A and B are shown apart, each in its own frame.
Chain A
Amino acid sequence: MRVNFVLSEVATGLRRNLTMTVAMILTTGISLALMGTGLVIANMISDMRAIYYDKVQVSIYLTDDVTDQQRDAIAAQLDASPEVKSYLYESKQEAYQRFTEQFSQQPALVENTDPNALPESFRVELVNPERYSVIAAEFPNGQNGVDQVRDEGDFLDRLFSLLNGARNATIAVAVVQALAALLLISNTIQLAAFNRRNETNIMRLVGASRWYTQLPFILEAALAGFLGAVLATVGLVLTKVLFIDRTLAGPIRAGIIPPVDWGVIATISPIIAAAGVGLAAIAAYVTLRLYVRL
């Protein structure tokens, strides 16, 4: 295979349809950037799961007028329960301290919160997180100093279903955009093949192999796919530097949102590059087979 020949064909092809090439690179880039964002969110979700689910499963909030006796009774009952793996007592002061840490980026909120407004609580880790109802039954709401028992897992499930929804929506948009990119690639390749029909006709007549005739077109699409992936990676890097690391800096420091490491970007970029190159090349190949006589 004459590499120079093939490469010069690719360069001519891309130059001849500059506008189509740019459109092809941009749509591919946007689609891959969305796909990359979806992967980043997926990654964040799994990190968040690790952070949250380990910490707490059930909270028993106490009433403001709880007596020491009632508090001790609850502690004793938790000690005795076979369902409880461990528990932690959090006083009003501790709750307020945690609150100020979590919302250190929103000083107005902290200032306007009375240190006494947050209830004291027992944070309980269960042997089996699914057995929340058993604990809830043992501590009826509004009795013996218990204000309410809350399944934090349930809250987290709702939070994560929201995050999963965001991830799925991003990926769905990425798929639609990818479809547009593939159609555009197919169109560009048809146009390129039409522009070079003299060359390809002659190649066919003098007995150039099918592969030799098709390769420049496939490489052309693959190159556009690759440039799209580069664009998408640049987009992801900018998102990390300008949005995640800056706007979300507070919640990340407070441990609410896990940070996005460079390692994640480094893992995702080759994936989107492979997807970009692969899909573009396949789209080009299928187009040539279906629509173009070579």
Chain B
Amino acid sequence: MIELQHVTKVYPTSPRPALDDVSMEIDKGEFVFLIGSSGSGKSTFLRLLLKEDNPTKGTIKVNDKTLNTMSKWQVPKLRRTMGCVFQDFRLLRNRTVAENVAFALEVINKPQRTIRRVVPEVLEMVGLEGKAERLPNELSGGEQQRVAIARAFVNRPLVLLADEPTGNLDPETSQGIMLLLERINRTGTTVVMATHDYHIVDSMRRRVIELNDGQVSRDQSRGVYGVGR
């Protein structure tokens, strides 16, 4: 599903590469934790997968498509197969929950009929039935993140990228979000989650890829956050 071969990313403003000769393979349906300290290259990794940026060296493949050679106008198509969730939710504050989710479908030209059917379904799945007409600031942090997940998942992406989705949430709420991501993973969606939350990593026992100064320092199936913790 995701394949990196000797990927290096150097930003012009920094002498040290953000990613340094990274190679890995993530299969369809896997759940992967991406860990490492701040500045270890996690965000760069996610940006490259979305083709928000191009690698300096090496090749990246997502769903058998090589990102390096992909032309600009094909990028939107790529992103329709991927969902994104962020620490800061990134909801539209002047739109209701349902409108926020529908927005993702409207801008890729889904018919109104489909939108009316799919949005309530996905809101029910994330546990927000009955809150469709609320505005984001009337919701708790956990609920807002559920809206963001609903928006990321409503188009049934092949891959869900989550950049510290529980970073702003208390442990209990985080637990709920993790259950939701697990549920999404069980539908066959590959989930890649960058995180600092060792409780979550330790309790889930999924594949862990640790980045250190832009290099993969550990790649362990059913891993934990840190050795000797």
Determine whether the beta carbon of B103 is less than 8 Å from that of A209. no
Bound: A242/B74 CA distance, A: 57
Choice from B76, B82, B84, B90 contacting A209 with Cβ under 8 Å: B76
Bound: A58/B84 CA distance, A: 84
Determine whether the beta carbon of B90 is less than 8 Å from that of A202. yes
- B109 CB contacts on chain A under 8 angstroms: 1-2, 212
Bound: A28/B57 CA distance, A: 47
A207 within 8 A of B: yes
**Which residues A1-20 have CB closer than 8 A to chain B?**
1-2, 5
**Which residues B63-93 have CB closer than 8 A to chain A?**
72-73, 75-82, 84, 90, 92-93
* Number of A-B pairs, beta carbon distance below 8 Å: 51
Tell me, rounded to whole Å, the shortest Cβ–Cβ distance linking A204 to chain B. Answer: 7
- How many B residues are at the interface, by size bracket? 20 to 34
Determine whether the beta carbon of A206 is less than 8 Å from that of B92. no
Choice from B77, B93, B151 contacting A207 with Cβ under 8 Å: B77
Determine whether the beta carbon of A202 is less than 8 Å from that of B80. no
Bound: A210/B93 CA distance, A: 23
Given A198-B92, A199-B92, is A210 in contact with B76 using a C-beta cutoff of 8 Å?
Answer: yes
A81 within 8 A of B: no
Determine whether the beta carbon of B92 is less than 8 Å from that of A202. yes
Tell me, rounded to whole Å, the shortest Cβ–Cβ distance linking A208 to chain B. Answer: 4
Given A1-B109, A2-B109, is A206 in contact with B90 using a C-beta cutoff of 8 Å?
Answer: no
A205 within 8 A of B: yes
B 133-160 binary contact with A (CB < 8 Å = 1; else 0):
0000000000000000001000100000
A201 within 8 A of B: yes
B 100-114 binary contact with A (CB < 8 Å = 1; else 0):
000110111100000
Tell me, rounded to whole Å, the shortest Cβ–Cβ distance linking B93 to chain A. Answer: 8
Determine whether the beta carbon of A201 is less than 8 Å from that of B92. no
B 107-131 binary contact with A (CB < 8 Å = 1; else 0):
1110000000000000000000000
Given A198-B90, A201-B90, A202-B90, is A208 in contact with B108 using a C-beta cutoff of 8 Å?
Answer: yes
B50 within 8 A of A: yes
Residues of A within 8 A of B (CB): 1-2, 5, 198-199, 201-210, 212-213
